[in-house]
Each structure stands twice: as C-alpha cells, then as structure tokens.
Amino acid sequence: MGAAILPDLGTEILIPVCAVIGIAFALFQWFLVSKVKLSAVRDASPNAAAKNGYNDYLIEEEEGINDHNVVVKCAEIQNAISEGATSFLFTEYKYVGIFMVAFAILIFLFLGSVEGFSTSPQPCTYDKTKTCKPALATAIFSTVSFLLGGVTSLVSGFLGMKIATYANARTTLEARKGVGKAFITAFRSGAVMGFLLAANGLLVLYIAINLFKIYYGDDWGGLFEAITGYGLGGSSMALFGRVGGGIYTKAADVGADLVGKVERNIPEDDPRNPAVIADNVGDNVGDIAGMGSDLFGSYAESSCAALVVASISSFGLNHEFTAMLYPLIVSSVGILVCLLTTLFATDFFEIKAVKEIEPALKKQLVISTVLMTIGVAVVSFVALPTSFTIFNFGVQKDVKSWQLFLCVAVGLWAGLIIGFVTEYYTSNAYSPVQDVADSCRTGAATNVIFGLALGYKSVIIPIFAIAISIFVSFTFAAMYGIAVAALGMLSTIATGLAIDAYGPISDNAGGIAEMAGMSHRIRERTDALDAAGNTTAAIGKGFAIGSAALVSLALFGAFVSRASITTVDVLTPKVFIGLIVGAMLPYWFSAMTMKSVGSAALKMVEEVRRQFNTIPGLMEGTAKPDYATCVKISTDASIKEMIPPGALVMLTPLVVGILFGVETLSGVLAGSLVSGVQIAISASNTGGAWDNAKKYIEAGASEHARSLGPKGSDCHKAAVIGDTIGDPLKDTSGPSLNILIKLMAVESLVFAPFFATHGGLLFKIF
C-alpha cells in the first residue's frame, strides 16, 4: 500500500496556513480598494497627487474629475444601496434563523431516535464486529455541524454583500481615469469575496473535524457522518439566500425596466425611476450574497461527500489522516493557485482598452485551471499512498494515486469547458447572441423563440462534459472519484467567485454613474465592464450547475451506501415512481419561483406607474421619487415568497423517506438530478443571452448592432422585453435549481440512518 509522503503534521500545518493566507490576501485586496477615497476632501500633503486617491484631480480635467458634487452624490447613492441591502439581509436572516433552529431540533430528534436515544456504544454500520459511538452522538454532532454550516453560509453571503456595496461607487469614480483602473477596483473587490469565502469554508470545516475528533477518537465513520451536517447547513441557507435574493432583485429589475425603459423611454438606472435603488440593491442581495452562499454550499457538500466515502475506505479504516483529508488539501492548494492567478489580472498585466476586459477574465479561468492541474498532480503524489482501496457499494475497489489525480483533473477541465461553452452562448461577441439580437427586427415574439432555442441548445456540450467526467471518475475511483471530480471543479472557487462578483459590482457602478449624472464617456466604460460581467456571471452559474450535478451524484452514492441499498433498480415500481416524481420537482420549483417574481413585479410596476402619474415634476427631474416604498415592496415580497419553494425542497426528502422509504427516495434524487441540471443550464443561458442581446443593441459597437438600434427603437424595445422575461430565468429559477438537486441529496444523506430504520411507513402498513 505504502504511506503518503506528506506527514500528518505537515497536513495539520498546511491546511490552516493556506486558509490564513487566503484571508490575509483578501484583507490586503480590500485595503487596496479602500485607498480609492469616497470623500471630496482634497489632501494637502505634498505626495497627495500620487496614486489612487481622489487627489489625481489633474489627470483629466475635461472629465470633471475634481467635481465635488459628483463624489458626494456617488457616496450618497452608495450609502442608500448599502443600507437597503443590509436591512433586507437582516430581515431575511431573522426568518432564516428561526428555520435554522427549528430544523436543527428536527435533526437531533430524528437521528437521536434511531437507537431510541441510547447512550451505549453500537455495532458499526459497515463492520458489525466493531463498536462505534452511539447514534445520539451522531445526532448531537450532526446538529452542531448543521448550525456551523448555516452560520458560515450566512456570514459568507453577508460579507460578500458588504464588500460589493463598499466597492461599487469606488469603481464608478475610478472609471473617470480609464477603464483599466475601474476594472482593477471591481476585480479586486470580487477577489476579496472569493478568497474570504474559500478560506473561511476550509478553515471552519478543518477546525470542526479536529474538534469532533477529540470525542470520536478512532470512530472515523461516525465522525465524518456527523460532519455531513455542515454541507446541509451551508446549502439550506443558500437556498433561502438564492430564492429570496433572486425574487428581490428581479421584482425590482422587471418593474424598473418595463415602466422606465419601455413605457417612459428613460435610460436604465435613471434617477427619476422610483425602482432604481431597489434594482441596484437587488444585484447585491441576489447575485452576490446568494451566489456566495450557493458556492459555499457546493464546496461544503463536495468535501463532505468525499470525506464520508473516504472514512469507510482504506483511508478511514487504517486511520491515514493525510490521505483522509486529501479533499481539504486540494482546496488549500486551490487557494494558493487562485492567489497567483489573481495577480495576473491586477498586477502583471494592465488593461488599457475595452476590448481587453473579457479576454482578461477568460485568462483567469485558463490560468487557474492549468496551474491547478499541476498543483493537484503534486498533492496527489505527496498526500496519497501509491495504492489504496475505495468503498464501492459494499466492496473495496483497488485504486492508484494517479487515478485519483485524473478524477480531480477531469472535474477541473470539465468546469473549464462548461465555462467556455456558457461564454460562447451568452457573450455578444459570438454569433448565438447576435442572432438573438437580429431576431428583434420582427418583434418580441421571434426574440423569445430564438432565445429559448439558444438555451436548449446550450445544454448539449455541458451535459456531455458532465457525463464524461462522471464516467471517467467512477471507473477509476467509484463514488469517491465523482466527489473529488466535483471538488476539482470547485478547487478554483476563489477565482470563480472573483469573476462572478465582478459582474454585479460593475453593474452597480454603471447605475451609480447614471444616477450621479456623470458624462456619457464614463457610462460607456461602466457599460463595457458590465457587459463582460454579464457573461462572467453566466460562466459562474455554469460552474455552479456543473459542480452541483457532480456533488449531487456523489452525495447520492454516499446516501445509497449509508442506507444499505445494494442496487437501485429502475424497473421496481418503488424506484420508478420516485424517479418520475423527482423529475417533476424542478418544474414545480421553477413554477413557484417564476410566479413569485411575476406577482412581486406586478406590485412594483403598479407602484412605479403610480409615482410617475401622481408626483408632479418627477419626469422633469424637479421632484424626487419615493425610493423607499419600492425597496419595501421588494423586501416584503421576497420574504413572503421564498417560504413555499424552500418548504418544497426541504420537506420532499423527509416526506418521501418517512412514508415511502429509502428506495423511492433514491428514485426521487436521481430524477431531480437528471431533469434539474438540464433546466438550470437552459434557463441561465437563455436569460444571459437575452440580456446581452439587449446590451449588444444598446452599445452599437458594430455596423450590425447600429442597424438594430438606437435605444428606444422598436428593435430595442423587443430586446428589452426578452431581457425582462429572461430575468427570473437567469437570476431566480436557474441558479436556485442547482441548490435544489444538491440540497435534497445532502438532506437525504444526513437523515439516512433514520430513514433506513424507521422509513417506508406506507409500504410497511400495506
């Protein structure tokens, strides 16, 4: 078998050190962003005209860089957005906190009752000759890890939102000095979020494992079964963050667009539009806080799935600590790789023109993937024995360390392929989006038809990429291979999140420029940043969905093993009814979230119309709109509407497991995974394509685009309608679906002991 080269002490040092480096790098990036001043006070010190601050007011006199009013206005708008986002998240977290406590009690009661709350040691699940800690211990520790995961997820989302609202106006002010400066500010802010989240997730998980080990000792099977609660906590909070934030942002966006752009013919983010602050708040609570929680959930779950399978393989049976924590070592190296990759965007190369923005962001993906492949090869060589066994549905499968390296690598490269395919279908630099824009010539109906077709078509290559990575990784290392392939896809999470958070920050920066009445040239720069951000946001969603498919399958494998199911036979009625119902769930969930956005947007449209009709001087710009009412409409609607979809996802595994048993539940999980991935990819890409088709017409950068414009033309109005339909698809339903498939799987895994013991009541009665 051979032992790993890296000693256990090395592992105990490496993981926390990498996490601390990640946090330190995030704080350093934040410090650099904070050097862009948001006050209009000129510094009288001799080196004042040096760098970055507001003091380079001599650079571009014609841009009015030293216009104090603009800076003050930017600071005011930023403050309003930050306050709106903070108050929404606090309201949301109040409700989510109640749910978290209630669900924690449920976990304790269900898992504790497996052995009738007995405190005496029990025979181990996978080896009856040995004794393990009582089920009550698993109940207590699962509850603790659930709360840990939930709190970490909420903190990740909140920190992300705080950083984004801190950076948006600073990006606007830097845009006066050129597109390169603005890009660096937006990207650095995204990196703060990416590194904080990746490092926090890793550090909390590592500390939890070490603390739990004090009690569990050699019972690693029990230890890592209890750790799965961490993934459940992370993902259940992400669900509410994604759905609540998604409904908030899209209600405001649809209301602002329909009345402002289509009916009143005023520009996007015009300060006369009453929904404009709510719209900008929405970018932060949906795209930033929601996305942060979502990717944290994916990371936590893929780590938990890998650890559970490893604990019943030779790593766990022989107590090989370094090999056991291989998933965490991969993530640690990922932080170092992403740190190096980030420097390529901010320090090694400078962006001088608009056309360089998108290639720079794409380079981030390529560089991080190439460097990570090398990193994983080294880690696999030093942290794994040359050969070992992996648990594979009741038998131990012999695996070599190079095979495990290939499993991680195939996930990593599949992620890159999904990212590039997503970019091809959603960027207005390529023909698919240009064709959608062209279809606006004949009105909104053809635009919708072309957009839907593009979304369906964009599913093909990502599904093949996921299928190949599943086949390769399962062939080499069974379910553990799939779990580490998912981790491979998420190993560059810090860079992925930096690219993703960059989008909403740039979007906000454009909104602030418009509201502060800055010149047309500055708005063009922020629009260019925003268009690239739209594409990167779509790439981020592609990563999230692809990794969710792999994570869900790995969790499914762990659940099947834990519930002692040897085979899942589709031909048995118990499994097939689960399969067909599971495939329906993503549609039911999407219907709920789409309708929620629709009804919230309806209220918003009515309120915006009312203000335009009743406030004298609003259109002329002499009176101020009532922004607060629109913010309140979005907040109330999203809090109320996020509960039914959340309940559907959280209750389905419990109801199915208790009433129909583990076999039917395994069918439900497989069905929801298969249909959920397809809908999620097509919904995200359709929405992204419609949005960028509209931006393509607005920018008028090519001869073809100019023939469709300008803003306010019939073509443009058709594009705005397409964009408005796509909003709930790409920012509410699509991204929430990947949480649905992961969350149901991890919840089933956590409750597997209870379902295996007490589940299937209906079949027992009849």
Q: Per-residue pLDDT tens for 220-248?
A: 888 999 999 999 999 999 999 889 998 99
The dihedral region occupied by 478, where left means phi > 0, alpha psi between -120 and 50, and beta the remainder, is: left
- Lowest mean pLDDT across 77-86, 466-475, 561-570: 561-570
Long-range contacts made by residues 4-8, C-beta under 8 angstroms, separation at least 24? 4/320, 4/322, 4/323, 4/382, 4/383, 4/384, 4/385, 5/381, 5/382, 5/383, 6/322, 6/329, 6/382, 6/383, 7/322, 8/321, 8/322
Calculate what percentage of the chain has a pLDDT beyond 90.
Answer: 51
* DSSP states along 639-654: HHHTHHHHHHHHHHHH
Is the pLDDT higher at 5 or at 488? Answer: 488
What is the total residue count of the chain?
A: 766
Confidence of residue 515 (pLDDT cuts 50, 70, 90): confident
**Whether 737 contacts 683, CB under 8 Å:** yes
What's the whole-number average pLDDT of the chain?
88
- Lowest mean pLDDT across 46-60, 584-598, 650-664, 712-726: 46-60
Q: Residue 94, Cβ neighbours under 10 Å: how many?
A: 10
**Whether 597 contacts 732, CB under 8 Å:** yes
Q: How far is CA 35 from CA 29, 69, 167, 686, in A?
A: 10, 20, 11, 39
Confidence of residue 476 (pLDDT cuts 50, 70, 90): very high
> In 57-145, at which residue ranges do the beta strands (DSSP E only) sit?
122-123, 131-132
Q: How far is CA 6 from the centre of its chain?
A: 33
Residue 82 predicted with pLDDT over 80: yes
> In 433-513, at which residue ranges do the beta strands (DSSP E only) sit?
none
SS3 at position 21: helix
Residue 348 predicted with pLDDT over 80: yes
**Whether 157 contacts 129, CB under 8 Å:** no
d(CA 135, CA 122): 8
- Helix crossing, 431-438 with 401-426: angle to 10°? 30
CB proximity list for 536: less than 8 A, separation 6 or greater: 361, 499, 500, 502, 503
Residue 370 predicted with pLDDT over 60: yes
d(CA 296, CA 153): 6
- Residue 389 carries which DSSP code? E
Interval 309-318 mean pLDDT: 87
**Whether 234 contacts 300, CB under 8 Å:** yes
Cα radius of gyration rounded to whole Å, the chain: 26
Confidence of residue 745 (pLDDT cuts 50, 70, 90): very high
Confidence of residue 177 (pLDDT cuts 50, 70, 90): confident
Q: Say if residue 625 is preceded by a cis peptide, omega within 30 of 0.
A: no
pLDDT on residue 56: 36
d(CA 31, CA 598): 41
Calculate what percentage of the chain has a pLDDT beyond 70.
Answer: 96
pLDDT on residue 695: 87
pLDDT on residue 453: 96
